[in-house]
Amino acid sequence: MDTTATTGTEENVWGGGNKPLGASYGKLMMWFFIVSDALTFSGFLVAYGFSRFKFIETWPIADEVFTHVPFFHGNYPMIYVAFMTFILIMSSVTMVLAVDAGHHMKQKKVIIYMFLTIIGGAIFVGSQAWEWATFIKGDYGALETKGGRVLQFVKADTGDRAAIADFATVLNEDRIANTRDKGVWFNADANTLTSLSLNEVITGFKANPNILIRTEKINEEGEKTLLNREQSLLKLNDAVRVVEGANLVRNEYGSRLFADFFFFITGFHGFHVFSGVVINIIIFFNVILGTYERRGHYEMVEKVGLYWHFVDLVWVFVFTFFYLV
């Protein structure tokens, strides 16, 4: 190793230079980092499990939330996330191929495979950004009750979800956003004005007998409980505000913690992918410049490879616990 000083006593067992784990210093340190980072992610995912078990009867159902595919309209639960998973696994494969080419000292091949890996990572980060944007924007809208529970709407005849814009009556009333100077500093928020007011949704609901309310509660069939028309009208009295899309305080999908964990876990993972892409780009240029050709080995590629596979490994777990289970 070029980075290690030789002392001339390596031949003795206790003289140093032994490699009991058969791995170089750099690789071992990368493994240390990966193990500790794995524990961080485990902490997040187990915290998610904690909150979910705590609210097991009311937790949002993931395939009702993530149903969009870019450039396509309609309901395609899971398809896009499955595509993202495949992209990440694929970029993991090109990374191993780069490492393998590095072992054979084939600079050209390493360049090509590193490039493909970077492209894969970029597609993944872009997809995640799109997924976030869709999640934040929301699609149906909902009402929130005094207790912070979310009421969603369903068309009685088809059983499909109804967007609040579909049935709300536009009243053209004067609406004032809460601001600090109105004395409501505790909920001062530029977003307090939703596209429809609570009054408009309630009026529209009363005028449209085809709309029913769906509560957060999961019934024995594993579906959200649908109220009948009388129960729905009664439940409507509890509503205090309109919720559209998601932020860190409330979201139209259900439990508030759901959106918080979504932002936190996929955000932290997305940040890892982003930094992975940056590190890959740095190594990519080093490969082009011939740094590792001169050094005589491509161990740096192997080390960033380890990190890149780790990011893929974490996604496999995020995919399961956020989207499947």
Partner 1 sequence: MAHEHKLEIFRGLWKFKSNTQKIWGVLAFLTLVTTVEVILGIIKPEFLTKTYFLEMKLLNWIFIILTLVKAYYIAWDFMHLRDEKSSLRRAIVWTPIFLVVYLITILLFEATYIYDVFKNGFMAWDF
Out of 33, 51, 166, 286, the only residue in the binding site for partner 1 (CB under 8 A) is 51
Q: Going residue by residue from 58 to 77, which x/- string records binding to partner 1, judged by CB under 8 A?
A: x----x-------------x
Looking at the Cβ atoms of 38 and 163, the one nearer to partner 1 is: 38
Looking at the Cβ atoms of 1 and 170, the one nearer to partner 1 is: 1
# chain residues binding partner 1, by CB under 8 A: 65
Out of 10, 23, 191, 249, the only residue in the binding site for partner 1 (CB under 8 A) is 23
| C-alpha to C-alpha distance for 98 and 109, rounded to whole angstroms | 7
| Helix or strand run (H / E) with residue 141 | none
Out of 10, 15, 18, 50, the only residue in the binding site for partner 1 (CB under 8 A) is 50
Out of 15, 16, 43, 209, the only residue in the binding site for partner 1 (CB under 8 A) is 43
Looking at the Cβ atoms of 167 and 315, the one nearer to partner 1 is: 315
The least distance separating partner 1 from the CB of residue 190, rounded to whole angstroms, comes to 29
CA-wise closest residue to 305 among 110, 109, 144, 128: 110
Q: Which stretch binds partner 1 (CB under 8 A): 115-123, 196-204, 283-291, 295-303?
A: 295-303
| C-alpha to C-alpha distance for 188 and 184, rounded to whole angstroms | 6
Neighbouring CB atoms inside 10 A of 312's CB total 21
The least distance separating partner 1 from the CB of residue 126, rounded to whole angstroms, comes to 20
What 3-state class would DSSP assign to 216?
strand
CA-wise closest residue to 208 among 246, 162, 275, 152: 162
Q: Going residue by residue from 90 to 109, which x/- string records binding to partner 1, judged by CB under 8 A?
A: x-xx-xxx-xx--x------
Q: What is the DSSP letter of 9?
A: -
> Could you say whether residue 225 binds partner 1 (CB under 8 A)?
no
Q: Are strands 150-155 and 211-218 parallel, antiparallel or unpaired?
A: antiparallel
| C-alpha to C-alpha distance for 104 and 119, rounded to whole angstroms | 23
The least distance separating partner 1 from the CB of residue 53, rounded to whole angstroms, comes to 3
Chain residues 113-172 in contact with partner 1, contact rule CB under 8 A = 145-147, 149
109 by Cβ neighbours in 10 Å (0-12 / 13-18 / 19+) ranks as: middle
Out of 20, 74, 159, 183, the only residue in the binding site for partner 1 (CB under 8 A) is 20
Q: Which stretch binds partner 1 (CB under 8 A): 22-30, 168-176, 184-192, 267-275?
A: 22-30
Chain residues 228-267 in contact with partner 1, contact rule CB under 8 A = 238
Looking at the Cβ atoms of 226 and 306, the one nearer to partner 1 is: 306
CA-wise closest residue to 236 among 203, 202, 199: 202
Contacting residues for 13 by C-beta, under 8 A, at least 6 apart: none
Looking at the Cβ atoms of 94 and 197, the one nearer to partner 1 is: 94
34-37 own/partner pairs: CB under 8 Å, 24+ apart? 34/306, 34/307, 34/310, 37/272, 37/310
**How far separated are the first and last CA of the chain, in Å rounded?**
47
The least distance separating partner 1 from the CB of residue 51, rounded to whole angstroms, comes to 7
Contacting residues for 98 by C-beta, under 8 A, at least 6 apart: 109, 110, 113, 114, 117, 301, 305
Q: Which residues would be at the binding site for partner 1 (CB under 8 A)? A: 20-23, 28, 31, 34-35, 38-39, 42-43, 46-47, 49-58, 63, 77-79, 82, 85-86, 89-90, 92-93, 95-97, 99-100, 103, 145-147, 149, 216-217, 222, 238, 297, 299, 302, 305-306, 309-310, 312-313, 316-317, 319-320, 323-325
